C-alpha cells in the first residue's frame, strides 16, 4: 500500500534545496548533496555528501538518512528559530483575472447559497507550505511525509505532492521577509494540522479498513474458541444432571460439588474471553501522530476576487484567490475541518462555509447543524 505521499528522498531534497543546496539523484534511492554554508553549519555535515535511504550503505561519504537516522533528526536544526521558517519569493506569471473570473463558479460550488463577484484586486500575500511527518500505529506501522499549503487570506488548504520540483525553479530568496505575528502563525499551524489530520485519515482509509477486517476476524476466532470450551462444559454439566429421577430432586452431594466446579470454570472462561477481546481491540486501535517539521513562507502576488456570499437575507464578504503555484483558483475552505470534500453548505446563523462531509457527520435528516457554530457555542460554555 503506497502510504508515503512523497518519498523521503524527494522531501529531503526539497528541504535542502530551499536551504541553498544543490541536490542530484543517484540511482533509485540516493542523493548527492552540495550543501550551502548554512547547511554545513546547522547540520554539521561535509559540504559534499551522499545520502542513502537504505540501511547498510553508509560509507566514507555516504550518510544514512531515513526516518530513524541521525541525519533525519539533525534536520530538526533547520527548524528551530532561525531555520524553522524559510522565506522565498515566488515569481508569478501574468494572468488575466477577468478570464479566471469566468470559471469562478466552478470552484465555489454552493448547495444552498449564491455569491456575487464585487471586485478583483492584485494583492501581495504569503502562502505557507508546512511539512508534516506522520506515524500511524496499530498492529502495523506506517509513516511518511507530506506538505500542506495554507492560504492565510481565506484559510484554503491544499495537499502538495508534486509541486516542489517545479517550485524550486520559480523561487528566489526573499529580499524582505514579511513579518507575521506569533498568533497568526499559531492559527496557520493549527489549520494546517487539522487539514493534515484529515489528509492522513483519507490516505489511511484502506489501512483502517484492513485493520478492522483483521480485528473482526480475530474476535470471531476468539469467540469460536471459547464457545467450543463452553460447549464442552455444558455437555459435562448435562452428564452430571441426575438421570431418570424427578427434576426437582437434588443431585447427590459429590455431583453437586463437580457441577459447582464446572460453573466456576464457565465463569472463568467468560472472563478470559472478555480480556482476550479487549486485548485485540487495544492491539488494532489506530494511533496517528502528526508533527509539523518546517514552514516555508512563499511570498507572491495574486489576483484576489472579493465576493459576497448570500444566504437567504444574510450576506458575508469573502475572498477567493488565484493560486500561482497550483495554477488554479484556491478551493473554498471548510471552516470545520479545513480539508473539504464535496460541495459547500452555508450555515444560516453566521454563514460559515461547511463541506459535505462535515455536514453529513453533524446533521439529522431534516436539520443541518453547523459544526462551526456548535464548536463556538461549546467553547463559550466552557468559559
320 binds Zn ion per the rule CB under 5 A: no
Separation between Cα atoms, residue 4 and residue 143, nearest integer Å: 7
CB nearer to Zn ion: pick between 261 and 375: 375
Minimum distance from CB of 316 to Zn ion (Å)?
11
Minimum distance from CB of 309 to Zn ion (Å)?
12
Rule CB under 5 A: choose which of 158, 337, 346, 353 binds Zn ion.
337
CB nearer to Zn ion: pick between 205 and 249: 205
Separation between Cα atoms, residue 145 and residue 4, nearest integer Å: 6
Q: What are phi and psi of 249, to 5 degrees?
A: -70, 135
194 binds Zn ion per the rule CB under 5 A: no
Answer yes or no: are the C-beta atoms of 42 and 21 closer than 8 Å: no
Inter-CA distances, 234 with 28, 230, 271, Å: 63, 6, 17
Binding residues among 64-123 for Zn ion as defined by CB under 5 A: none
Minimum distance from CB of 362 to Zn ion (Å)?
10
Place of cell 503506497: 2
Q: Which of 302, 294, 89 is nearest to 189 (CA)?
A: 294
336 binds Zn ion per the rule CB under 5 A: yes
188 binds Zn ion per the rule CB under 5 A: no
**Site stretch for Zn ion (CB under 5 A), options 105-113, 132-140, 243-251, 327-335:** 327-335
Minimum distance from CB of 149 to Zn ion (Å)?
17
372 binds Zn ion per the rule CB under 5 A: yes
**Site stretch for Zn ion (CB under 5 A), options 68-76, 144-152, 239-247, 347-355:** 347-355
**Site stretch for Zn ion (CB under 5 A), options 47-55, 67-75, 288-296, 365-373:** 365-373
CB nearer to Zn ion: pick between 85 and 357: 357
Instruction: Please give the grid coordinates belonging to residue 172.
Output: 528566489
373 binds Zn ion per the rule CB under 5 A: yes
Binding residues among 244-263 for Zn ion as defined by CB under 5 A: none
Separation between Cα atoms, residue 345 and residue 363, nearest integer Å: 12
Buried residues in 331-361 as b, exposed as e (16+ CB within 10 A): bbbbbbbbbbeeebbbbeeebbbbbbbbbee
CB nearer to Zn ion: pick between 278 and 341: 341
Separation between Cα atoms, residue 146 and residue 21, nearest integer Å: 20
Query: What pairs with residue 175 in β-bridges?
Result: none
358 binds Zn ion per the rule CB under 5 A: yes
CB nearer to Zn ion: pick between 211 and 334: 334
Rule CB under 5 A: choose which of 168, 350, 362, 363 binds Zn ion.
350
Minimum distance from CB of 352 to Zn ion (Å)?
3
Rule CB under 5 A: choose which of 42, 200, 325, 355 binds Zn ion.
355
191 binds Zn ion per the rule CB under 5 A: no
Question: Which string of DSSP letters, residue by residue, matches 160-200?
Answer: ESS-HHHHHHHEEE-SSPPP--HHHHHHHHHHHHHHHHHHH
CB nearer to Zn ion: pick between 109 and 242: 109
**Site stretch for Zn ion (CB under 5 A), options 22-30, 61-69, 73-81, 362-370:** 362-370
Q: How many residues bind Zn ion (CB under 5 A)?
A: 11
Answer yes or no: are the C-beta atoms of 139 and 157 closer than 8 Å: no
Using alpha carbons only, give the angle 240, 260, 263 rounded to the nearest 5 degrees. 90
Rule CB under 5 A: choose which of 5, 65, 129, 370 binds Zn ion.
370
Place of cell 464585487: 118
Half-sphere exposure of 313 (CA within 13 A, CB side): 0
347 binds Zn ion per the rule CB under 5 A: yes
Q: Which residues bind Zn ion (CB under 5 A)?
A: 334, 336-337, 347, 350, 352, 355, 358, 370, 372-373
Amino acid at each position: 500500500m503506497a502510504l508515503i505521499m512523497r518519498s523521503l528522498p524527494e522531501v529531503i531534497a526539497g528541504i535542502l534545496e530551499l536551504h541553498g543546496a544543490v541536490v542530484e539523484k543517484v540511482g533509485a534511492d540516493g542523493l548527492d548533496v552540495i550543501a550551502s554554508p548554512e547547511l554545513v553549519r546547522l547540520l554539521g555535515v561535509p559540504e559534499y555528501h551522499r545520502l542513502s535511504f537504505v540501511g547498510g550503505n553508509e560509507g566514507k561519504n555516504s550518510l544514512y538518512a531515513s526516518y530513524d537516522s541521525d541525519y533525519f533528526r539533525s534536520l530538526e536544526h533547520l527548524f528551530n528559530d532561525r531555520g524553522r521558517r524559510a522565506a522565498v519569493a515566488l515569481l508569478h506569471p501574468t494572468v488575466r483575472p477577468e478570464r479566471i473570473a469566468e470559471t469562478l463558479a466552478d470552484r465555489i460550488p454552493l448547495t444552498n447559497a449564491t455569491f456575487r463577484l464585487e471586485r478583483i484586486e492584485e494583492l501581495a500575500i504569503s502562502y505557507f507550505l508546512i511539512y508534516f511527518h506522520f506515524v500511524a500505529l496499530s498492529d502495523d506501522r506506517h509513516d511518511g511525509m507530506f506538505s500542506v499549503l495554507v492560504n492565510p487570506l481565506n484559510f484554503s488548504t491544499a495537499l502538495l505532492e508534486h509541486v516542489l520540483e517545479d517550485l524550486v525553479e520559480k523561487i528566489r530568496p526573499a529580499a524582505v521577509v514579511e513579518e507575521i505575528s506569533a498568533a497568526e502563525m499559531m492559527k496557520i499551524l493549527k489549520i494546517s494540522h487539522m487539514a493534515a489530520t484529515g489528509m492522513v485519515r483519507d490516505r489511511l482509509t484502506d489501512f483502517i479498513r484492513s485493520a478492522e477486517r483483521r480485528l473482526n476476524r480475530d474476535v470471531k476466532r476468539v469467540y469460536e474458541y471459547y464457545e467450543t470450551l463452553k460447549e464442552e462444559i455444558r455437555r459435562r454439566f448435562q452428564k452430571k444432571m441426575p438421570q431418570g429421577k424427578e427434576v426437582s430432586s437434588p443431585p447427590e452431594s459429590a455431583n453437586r460439588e463437580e457441577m459447582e466446579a464446572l460453573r466456576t470454570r464457565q465463569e472463568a472462561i467468560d472472563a478470559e474471553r472478555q480480556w482476550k477481546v479487549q486485548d485485540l481491540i487495544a492491539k488494532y486501535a489506530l494511533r496517528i501522530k502528526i508533527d509539523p517539521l518546517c514552514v516555508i513562507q512563499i511570498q507572491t502576488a495574486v489576483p484576489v476576487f472579493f465576493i459576497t456570499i448570500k444566504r437567504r437575507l444574510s450576506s458575508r464578504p469573502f475572498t477567493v484567490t488565484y493560486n500561482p503555484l497550483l495554477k488554479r483558483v484556491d478551493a473554498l475552505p471548510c471552516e470545520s475541518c479545513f480539508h473539504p470534500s464535496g460541495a459547500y453548505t452555508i450555515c444560516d446563523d453566521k454563514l460559515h462555509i461547511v463541506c459535505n462531509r462535515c455536514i453529513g457527520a453533524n446533521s439529522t435528516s431534516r436539520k443541518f447543524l453547523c459544526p462551526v457554530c456548535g464548536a463556538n457555542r461549546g467553547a463559550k460554555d466552557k468559559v
